[in-house]
Amino acid sequence: MCQCECVSHISRRKTSSSSSSSGKARSQAGKFVNQVGRAETPKEQRSSSDASRRSHRPPQEAATPHAPSPGSRTHHTPIPNMGSGHYFWAILYFASLCSASLANNAKINFREKEKKVLDQILGAGKYDARIRPSGINGTDNKATNVSVNMFLRSISKIDDYKMEYSVQLTFREQWTDERLKFDDIQGRLKYLTLTEANRVWMPDLFFSNEKEGHFHNIIMPNVYIRIFPNGSVLYSIRISLTLACPMNLKLYPLDRQICSLRMASYGWTTNDLVFLWKEGDPVQVVKNLHLPRFTLEKFLTDYCNSKTNTGEYSCLKVDLLFKREFSYYLIQIYIPCCMLVIVSWVSFWLDQGAVPARVSLGVTTLLTMATQTSGINASLPPVSYTKAIDVWTGVCLTFVFGALLEFALVNYASRSGSNKANMHKENMKKKRRDLEQASLDAASDLLDTDSNATFAMKPLVRHPGDPLALEKRLQCEVHMQAPKRPNCCKTWLSKFPTRQCSRSKRIDVISRITFPLVFALFNLVYWSTYLFREEEDE
């Protein structure tokens, strides 16, 4: 009877889509009953054989009045021979099969139930998207709290000249709207999904430092809205933004920059709408984030409420701290500038007479350094303060220009020394001519004395203007001078001739040592100053 009742119950509840599942249930139930009947049949046969042996009645007497006729079929049903325990397990098994078939029928109508719920909460005349949701616990005098979180997918460009950066992110907002509560069908309906943002109320958030932005619509619009049974609404969208980033380039290219992403309410004041960062981890960054010339060191979340004439507005911000990669600038700017400065020093080792070579070398390095400086400044905005790269290029340009001026000084000293040497030679020749003339005069005087037979005594002391007396006096003064202590610098410089024409050679030798030493000292001061300031900024 139980089998028949269960089968009849399933047949009444079945639909066209569940006929196969109910048939399987009936077949499994029949198999279970047959197995139980076969398990009880041997015991029945043993009991009947014992009873036949105990009775010595003839076969005709042993037949019962209800014995079937030879032509009729005999139906052996093992169910009446089962015990009470087997009946209990069979009924339990049938009940489980019936409940499974009912669950299958419920799953088939699940999407239809979703449609009914959406029509119930968002139907015409039931929900107005223009009205702000109530505050905490449905109170009207409280502001609507909106929790915000985001996922940074990529940062494509940081432009120093325009002072902006581009970012792609997944932006999420979550709030509670009690008008959207619905029955979750005993936990089977977790949430409802929408793709049209205008169906529900949305916060009027905007990015205050945005320059450009666009949504993503390939292949479908990258946006969704989830409505949960308790009235909670989750809004998620993928957007690309170009945001302003004011930079301080005093330490460029040894600097760190802080770029912010600001979000605020446009029309609702803090009395009506408040933005809050989601608890836990409000900002996530993709793991394989790579930037061409920067490194994202860390990010900080904060609040930035603003007050205007119309009231106070809720605001959130994310500060992204970027560190500039110095290796690029070391290879592209600093090392080439050092090489140009060192090349300009080659003119110190060339002969002072090689005027074309030294001039062409100095002018070429000067023009190359000027081109390098203009190229660096072309990629940076014109600012009113001095940058670290300006100090470097300015000093390098000064050293190259100084090398060119050094050659001009050497050339001038060489020409002036040669002129003085020529004048000195002419003076010496003139003195010799005067001495020769004086000796001739003395000889003529002697001849005149011999002819007159008289001897004219010449004075033993000559007049002050006499050149012979002047030369003798100078020789005496030189031999009578006291010896001086040797000086290292003078001893080293005494290796070169003391003539006026060797003064240009001295300038070259001094420049070979002075220029590298001063440049090395500048490097020491430069790197220690700016690297120390960089650590202070950290």
Question: For the domain that residue 334 is a member of, what is the CATH number?
Answer: 1.20.58.390
* Residue 69 domain-assigned (yes or no): no
Determine the Cα–Cα distance for residues 534 and 538; give it in Å rounded to an integer.
7
Q: What is the pLDDT of residue 136?
A: 67
Residue that finishes a domain, picked among 264, 295, 324: 324
Local structure of residue 437 (DSSP, 8 states): H
Residues 416 and 291 both lie in one domain: no
Q: Do 265 and 203 contact (CB within 8 A), yes or no?
A: yes
Nearest-angstrom CA–CA distance, 533 and 252: 12
Parallel/antiparallel/unpaired status of strands 273-277 and 144-159: parallel
Which pLDDT belongs to residue 451?
53
- 526 domain residue, yes or no: yes
Assigned domain for 243 exists: yes
3-class secondary structure, 129: coil
Cα gap 468→426, rounded to integer Å: 19
Residues 303 and 351 in one domain: no
CA distance 107 to 111: 8
β-pairing, 256-265 vs 205-207, is antiparallel
Residue ending a domain, choose from 324, 358, 389: 324
The residues near 244 (Cβ < 8 Å, ≥ 6 apart) are 163, 164, 209, 210, 211
| DSSP-H helix ranges across 288-387 | 326-329, 335-344, 355-378
Instruction: Please name the residue that has the structure tokens 């799953």.
Output: 107
Q: How far is CA 294 from the centre of its chain?
A: 5
Token pair of 261, please? 């992403």
Give dist(CA 378, CA 29) in Å, integer: 87
Cα–Cα distance measured from residue 412 to residue 405, given in angstroms and rounded to the nearest whole number: 11
For 267, the token pair is 């029309």
Tell me how far apart the alpha carbons of residues 368 and 393 are, in angstroms, rounded to a whole number: 12
**Per-residue tens of pLDDT for the chain, all 538 residues:** 434 333 334 334 333 434 444 444 455 545 544 544 444 444 444 444 444 444 444 434 333 334 444 444 444 444 444 455 666 667 776 677 666 655 555 454 667 888 888 888 888 788 888 899 987 666 667 899 999 999 999 998 899 999 999 999 999 999 999 999 998 888 888 899 988 888 899 999 999 999 999 999 989 999 999 999 999 999 999 999 999 999 999 999 999 999 999 999 999 999 999 999 999 899 999 998 888 889 999 999 999 999 999 999 999 999 999 999 999 999 999 999 999 999 999 999 988 888 889 999 999 999 999 999 999 999 899 999 999 999 999 999 999 999 999 999 988 887 775 555 566 566 676 777 777 777 766 766 655 555 554 444 455 455 555 555 555 555 555 444 555 566 665 665 555 554 544 777 888 899 999 999 999 999 999 999 998 886 666 5
In a shared domain, residues 130 and 259: yes
Domain count, the chain: 2
Question: Is 182 a domain residue?
Answer: yes
| Pair 344, 395 in one domain | yes
Rg value, the chain, Cα: 55
Please check whether residue 385 lies inside any domain of the structure: yes
For residue 8, which amino acid is it?
A: S
Closest CA to 242 of 168, 295, 149, 299: 168
Instruction: Give the range of the structural domain holding residue 298, as residue numbers without chain letter.
Output: 118-324
The last residue of one of the domains, among 298, 324, 350, is 324
* Apex 280 CA angle, 275 and 281, nearest 5: 85
In-domain check, residue 476: no
Separation of alpha carbons 35 and 86, rounded Å: 11
Examine the domain organization and report whether 130 and 233 are in the same domain: yes
Q: According to the model, what pLDDT value does residue 415 have?
A: 75
| Residues 290, 214 share a domain | yes
- What span, in angstroms and rounded, lies between the C-alpha atoms of 229 and 234? 12
Q: What is the pLDDT of residue 118?
A: 87
* Residue 139 lies inside a defined structural domain of this protein: yes
Q: Are strands 283-285 and 144-159 parallel, antiparallel or unpaired?
A: parallel
CATH number at residue 244: 2.70.170.10
| Same domain for 333 and 319 | no
Say what the pLDDT of residue 100 is. 60
- Judge if 410 and 386 occupy the same domain: yes
Q: What is the pLDDT of residue 40?
A: 42
Residue whose entry in the numeric block shows the structure tokens 């040592």: 513
Q: Which helix (H) or strand (E) holds 166?
A: strand 164-176
346 secondary structure, DSSP code: G
**Same-domain pairing of 314 and 390:** no
CA-wise closest residue to 397 among 520, 521, 529, 519: 519
For residue 22, tell me if it sits in a domain: no
Give, rounded to a whole angstrom, the gap between the first and last alpha carbons of the chain. 86
Task: Note whether 347 and 307 are same-domain residues.
Answer: no
CB 237, CB 171: distance < 8 Å: yes
Q: CA-CA distance, 433 to 422, in Å (whole number)? A: 17
229 with 343, same domain: the answer is: no
Residues 238 and 224 in one domain: yes
